[in-house]
């Protein structure tokens, strides 16, 4: 078998058109390598404007994503060598306007813990034989054994607070930093887009220089139509760093509020703004979720195709549990209700029961809960009915659990009772980097084992923080890196991501926080219990 390219070598050569041996055009279907070329005018060839992506990778499956500019049939090939010897070819279905010409192919029958090289191309439905140039990507399937160490990365918050793509300043540099970090998987912790955050052409910085945004029609206003939500996702993929990243790093995506509108819940009503009646927010959320599933490589689950919470196994070392704190919540409020009810929901009963079962059943050494919001960080939502309202778990009341804290208290007590060890939380949302250690001896609620929560973001948005912490579960700040004043631009390098490295031999987990230059700012080693 041909030796595989190293990941670094592949990163340098693959995603550009023609980086690997490409099939020339031919009628109906791509012919074998070396067949005579048939000239097709360029105007008839489909174009792939958004690169490729891969996500929801398992030991034998992966979602491969592509997008074209017209009705077209997708052809996918994959192999375990860069020359595509013994490649398998899959008809990927038809890309149509009804799905914004996006395509999702669930590759199956993949070998575990193997580097998979794939390429995508489209054939025009209008002009059979007119093929797009191929785009190529690479990823590694999840392992079944603990034969090698693992690296997980995470962050969130993309193109927020008016900071878009400034190509003269390197575009979205975080994607380049993450690609160079070479994680086995990247968790996007939410706010994949800021649908409610339009861009201005220029922003004058404190030093007098000008940030120049690339602005598209969809990013020039608050998203309301389905096409405007779609345009927010397409905007990010205009960035060359984002397309390179998508071709080389598997993604696990979740969502938060800005995929719809700031701090949304289904009963959201904003005074003096007719766009945000309860009915209107439900319509916006439906459109936003459709665009999310169209533009991200997420595997739809047959029994519940719109469900975002799900889990992934990376063999004996790691299980990842992705939760959704947006779809099933009750309204934001003072968050101090004494007993569980519909208005205290954050996970919701069905998701909470699923998470308890899944964690209890996990046999992996480390269990990572990917949350779209932090636990102990106080995240306010202004005044509702004349009292402070809260957006996340914490309620700024340092006593016994109340409101949404009741769900977390139940989960933590279940983990202690069932002796579920080595649980780590990762999140973004608050636009700074932090490491929080929770312990019962510092807490008002004590029926839980100590655990860590690591916060990293934004990826490409304004930097803020730090926020206050709620003492109910005994958090202690072990590290924080935040902005000296609000809404610092990406050019200040206060953009952050985190990594979790699990050593295959010792099973030690090393958590680290990094800035956009790749510099490690802080780390801690956690031995497995």
**Is residue 294 one of the residues assigned to a domain?**
yes
**Is residue 14 one of the residues assigned to a domain?**
yes
Last residue of a domain, one of 109, 140, 171: 140
Q: Specify the 3-state DSSP secondary structure of 476.
A: strand
Q: How confident is the model at residue 451 (pLDDT cuts 50, 70, 90)?
A: very high
Q: Specify the 3-state DSSP secondary structure of 372.
A: coil
Residues 59 and 165 in one domain: no
Q: How confident is the model at residue 33 (pLDDT cuts 50, 70, 90)?
A: very low
**Is residue 269 one of the residues assigned to a domain?**
yes
* Number of neighbours of residue 279 by Cβ within 10 angstroms: 10
What is the Cα–Cα distance from 24 to 45, expressed in whole angstroms? 12
Mean pLDDT of 175-200: 98
Q: Specify the 3-state DSSP secondary structure of 290.
A: helix
Residues 115-150: pLDDT tens digits?
A: 999 999 999 999 999 999 999 999 999 999 999 999
What is the Cα–Cα distance from 155 to 495, expressed in whole angstroms? 9
Closest by CA to 332, choosing from 280, 394, 376, is 394
Residues 503-527: pLDDT tens digits?
A: 999 999 999 999 999 999 999 999 9
The pLDDT of residue 416: 98
Residues 473-486: pLDDT tens digits?
A: 999 999 999 999 99
pLDDT above 90: residue 21:
no
Residues 340 and 450 in one domain: yes
Q: Specify the 3-state DSSP secondary structure of 480.
A: strand
- Of residues 32 and 26, which shows the higher confidence score? 32
Give the residues across from 367 on adjacent strands: 319, 423
On whether the CB atoms of residues 320 and 312 are closer than 8 A, the answer is yes
The pLDDT of residue 38: 56
Q: Write the CB contacts of 41 (distance below 8 Å, at least 6 apart in sequence).
A: none
Residues 390 and 362 in one domain: yes
pLDDT above 60: residue 32:
no
Mean pLDDT of 36-64: 89
Residues 513 and 415 in one domain: yes
**Is residue 145 one of the residues assigned to a domain?**
no
CATH code at position 323: 3.60.21.70
Long-range contacts of 300-309 (CB under 8 A, 24+ apart): 300/104, 308/254, 308/255, 309/351, 309/354, 309/355
The pLDDT of residue 463: 98
On whether the CB atoms of residues 323 and 370 are closer than 8 A, the answer is yes
The pLDDT of residue 42: 86
Q: Read off the DSSP letter of residue 4.
A: P
Q: How confident is the model at residue 16 (pLDDT cuts 50, 70, 90)?
A: very low
The pLDDT of residue 267: 81
**Is residue 295 one of the residues assigned to a domain?**
yes
* Number of neighbours of residue 493 by Cβ within 10 angstroms: 14
On whether the CB atoms of residues 498 and 489 are closer than 8 A, the answer is no
Residues 125 and 238 in one domain: no
On whether the CB atoms of residues 107 and 118 are closer than 8 A, the answer is yes
CATH code at position 132: 2.60.40.380
Last residue of a domain, one of 107, 140, 173: 140
Long-range contacts of 297-304 (CB under 8 A, 24+ apart): 297/53, 297/54, 297/55, 297/56, 297/63, 297/64, 297/65, 297/104, 297/251, 297/253, 298/55, 298/56, 298/63, 298/253, 299/55, 299/56, 299/61, 299/63, 299/106, 300/104
Last residue of a domain, one of 104, 120, 140: 140
Q: How confident is the model at residue 23 (pLDDT cuts 50, 70, 90)?
A: very low
What is the Cα–Cα distance from 446 to 466, expressed in whole angstroms? 25
* Number of neighbours of residue 450 by Cβ within 10 angstroms: 14
Residues 362-383: pLDDT tens digits?
A: 999 999 999 999 999 999 999 8
Mean pLDDT of the chain: 92
Closest by CA to 173, choosing from 240, 251, 247, is 240
| CA 304 to mean position of chain CA atoms | 20
The pLDDT of residue 109: 97
Residues 487-506: pLDDT tens digits?
A: 999 999 999 999 999 999 99
Residues 163 and 130 in one domain: no
Mean pLDDT of 153-173: 98
On whether the CB atoms of residues 96 and 71 are closer than 8 A, the answer is yes
pLDDT above 60: residue 14:
no
The rounded radius of gyration (Å) of the Cα atoms in the chain is 23
Residues 98 and 208 in one domain: no
pLDDT above 80: residue 189:
yes
Count of CA atoms in the C-beta half-sphere (13 A) of 132: 28
The pLDDT of residue 275: 73
The pLDDT of residue 26: 34
Residues 97 and 203 in one domain: no
**Is residue 110 one of the residues assigned to a domain?**
yes
User: Furthest-apart CA pair in the chain: how many Å?
Assistant: 75
- Range(s) of the domain holding residue 121: 7-140
On whether the CB atoms of residues 98 and 329 are closer than 8 A, the answer is no
Residues 261-280: pLDDT tens digits?
A: 999 998 887 766 777 788 88
Query: Rounded to 10 degrees, what is the CA torsion of 407, 409, 414, 420?
Result: 110
Q: Write the CB contacts of 61 (distance below 8 Å, at least 6 apart in sequence).
A: 106, 107, 108, 110, 299
**Is residue 1 one of the residues assigned to a domain?**
no
What is the Cα–Cα distance from 354 to 328, expressed in whole angstroms? 13
Residues 374 and 447 in one domain: yes
What is the Cα–Cα distance from 230 to 195, expressed in whole angstroms? 9
Total count of domains within the chain? 2
Residues 171 and 71 in one domain: no
The pLDDT of residue 34: 43
Residues 281 and 355 in one domain: yes
SS3 content of the chain, % helix, strand, coil (to 5): 20, 30, 50
**Is residue 339 one of the residues assigned to a domain?**
yes
Closest by CA to 458, choosing from 116, 262, 236, 191, is 191
What is the Cα–Cα distance from 382 to 389, expressed in whole angstroms? 6
Residues 126 and 159 in one domain: no
Residues 459-477: pLDDT tens digits?
A: 999 999 999 999 999 999 9
């Amino acid at each position: 078998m041909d030796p595989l390219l190293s990941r670094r070598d592949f990163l340098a050569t693959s995603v550009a058109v023609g980086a690997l041996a490409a099939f020339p055009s031919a009628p109906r279907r791509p012919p074998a390598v070396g067949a005579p070329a048939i000239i097709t005018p360029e105007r008839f060839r489909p174009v792939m404007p958004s690169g490729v992506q891969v996500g929801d990778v398992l030991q034998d499956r992966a979602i491969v994503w592509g997008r074209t500019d017209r009705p077209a049939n997708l052809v996918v090939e994959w192999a375990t060598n860069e020359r595509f010897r013994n490649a398998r070819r899959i008809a990927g279905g038809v890309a149509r306007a009804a799905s914004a010409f996006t395509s999702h192919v669930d590759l199956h029958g993949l070998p575990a813990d193997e580097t998979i090289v794939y390429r995508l191309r489209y054939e025009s439905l209008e002009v059979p034989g007119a093929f797009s140039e191929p785009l190529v990507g690479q990823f590694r399937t999840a392992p079944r054994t603990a034969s090698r160490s693992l690296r997980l990365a995470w962050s969130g918050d993309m193109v927020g607070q008016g900071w878009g793509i400034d190509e003269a300043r390197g575009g979205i540099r975080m994607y380049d930093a993450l690609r160079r970090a070479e994680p086995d998987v990247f968790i996007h912790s939410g706010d994949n887009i800021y649908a409610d955050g339009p861009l201005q052409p220029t922003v004058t910085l404190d030093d007098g220089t000008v940030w120049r945004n690339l602005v598209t029609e969809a990013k020039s206003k608050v998203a309301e139509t389905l096409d405007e939500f779609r345009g927010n996702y397409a905007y990010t993929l205009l960035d060359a760093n984002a397309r390179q990243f998508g071709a080389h790093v598997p993604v696990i995506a979740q969502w938060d509020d800005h995929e719809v509108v700031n701090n949304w819940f289904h009963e959201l009503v904003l005074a003096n703004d007719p766009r945000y009646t309860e009915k209107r927010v439900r319509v916006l959320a439906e459109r936003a979720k459709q665009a999310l599933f169209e533009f991200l490589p997420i595997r739809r689950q047959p029994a519940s195709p719109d469900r975002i919470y799900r889990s992934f196994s990376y063999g004996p070392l790691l299980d990842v549990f992705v939760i959704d704190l947006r779809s099933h919540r009750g309204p934001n409020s003072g968050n101090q209700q004494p007993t569980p009810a519909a208005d205290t929901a954050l996970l919701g009963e069905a998701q909470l029961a699923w998470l308890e079962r899944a964690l209890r059943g996990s046999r992996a050494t480390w269990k990572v809960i990917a949350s779209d919001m932090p636990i102990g960080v106080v995240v306010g939502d202004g005044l509702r009915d004349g009292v402070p309202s809260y957006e996340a778990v914490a309620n700024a009341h340092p006593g016994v659990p109340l409101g949404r804290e009741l769900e977390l208290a139940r989960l933590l007590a279940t983990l202690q009772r069932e002796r579920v060890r080595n649980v780590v939380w990762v999140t973004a949302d608050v636009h700074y980097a932090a490491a929080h250690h929770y312990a019962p001896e510092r807490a008002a609620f004590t029926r839980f084992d100590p655990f860590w929560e690591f916060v990293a973001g934004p990826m490409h948005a304004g930097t803020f923080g730090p926020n206050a912490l709620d003492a109910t579960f005994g958090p202690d700040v072990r590290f924080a890196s935040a902005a000296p004043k609000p809404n610092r631009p990406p050019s200040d390098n206060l953009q952050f991501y985190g990594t979790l490295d699990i050593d295959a031999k010792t099973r030690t987990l090393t958590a680290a926080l990094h800035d956009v230059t790749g510099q490690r700012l802080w780390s801690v080693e956690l031995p497995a219990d």
